[in-house]
Amino acid sequence: MSRFFFSILATALVMAACKEKPRQSDATQPADQPVQVTAPPFNADSAYTYIDRQVAFGPRVPNTPAHVATGNYLVAKLKQFGCEVTEQNFVATTWDGKKLNARNIIGTINPQATKRIVLASHWDSRPQADQDPDKADQSKPVTAANDGASGVGVLLELARTIQQAQKKPGVGIDIIFFDAEDWGNSEKAANDFEPATGNQYDYIGFCLGSRYWAKNLHKPGYTAYFGILLDMVGAKGATFAKEGLSMQFAPSVVNKVWQTASAAGYSQYFIDQPGGQITDDHLAPNTIAKIPMIDIIHTNAGTGGFFPAWHTADDTMSNIDRGTLKAVGQTLLQVVYNE
């Protein structure tokens, strides 16, 4: 995914989550706190399998057979898990003028619910491993086990868990797999601004699928209380700082997620530190669709930057850790069930 820190002037969208009234029979629950609902357990082994299955297709670069096959697999899995599935097929134009046959894949859980939450990740692979230390590998496509497939695997397992759970969450959930996120070039597309919003942030040719969705919502008049984006959420020892634009647009959502993670014992992953501002798929939902969305993304604590295999040929299954998948998946489930 695109990983470029920058400054941006925009109006912060702060939306407080609705809270349930405490049960009068719960004498131990403080009167000013929402009742906590225990979420079902998240199966990290299952999430790992979904990541491995994506990787087995080969790099999911748009306009390739592996990309088509993986997209068909994701559609089939979401339908298997009881989701109402919408496919947004579109042609994306890259920074260098290429035309990509792309599709966003949306799986809807509890479509009748008026209160909705977006959970998202990108599913495509970067076409060149431009950060690889070996120049011979820099022109090869990225396998993208962590940078793409990990977030998708977590969300597939979340959908499966909810489908099989006796108690369902009270909110509607829209799982969105954004396409064409990772084709950008920071040097050659430095003037690729988004004029429709009035904000001069620079997409530098990345995040094409989320931009398309934000301008062409999958249902007329669609809105959501908030959204959570997953990006690079599977590496061993991953740390997730409070990403800068997430804190600008949706600080209450960031705090909700990080507090939930801490209560579940995952504060070593969700660290209580500010992070840099990152161009990612949460930008367009915030600035175009006006849906407050945050980014859970692996950044190195204290030094910035991303996990060592980012945009290299080494972004393989060897990086994926079940402990990290469990921390992210269980936190997401608890957030959803608490709404």
For residue 86, which of 221, 213, 226 has the smallest C-alpha distance? 213
Predicted TM-score (pTM) of the model is: 0.88
Inform me whether the pLDDT recorded for 33 exceeds 90: no
Mean pLDDT of 210-236: 96
Beta strand 270-274 with 172-178 is unpaired
User: In the predicted model, what is the mean pLDDT of residues 198-227?
Assistant: 84
Whether the per-residue pLDDT at 8 is higher than 60: the answer is: no
Cα angle 295-117-28, degrees, rounded to a multiple of 5: 95
β-sheet bridge partners, residue 274: 242
- Res 16: pLDDT: 32
Task: For residue range 72-103, list pLDDT tens digits in order.
Answer: 999 999 999 999 999 999 999 888 889 999 99
| pLDDT tens track for 142-190 | 999 999 999 999 999 999 999 999 999 999 999 999 999 998 876 654 4
Contact of 181 with 161, CB cutoff 8 Å: no
Total residues found in the chain within this entry: 339
Beta 226-231 vs 293-297: how paired, if at all? parallel
Cα(148)–Cα(125) distance, integer angstroms:
7
Cα(119)–Cα(121) distance, integer angstroms: 7
Tokens of 66: 């592996």
Q: Which pLDDT does position 302 carry in this prediction? A: 66
Quote the CA–CA distance of 116 and 108 in Å, as a whole number. Answer: 10
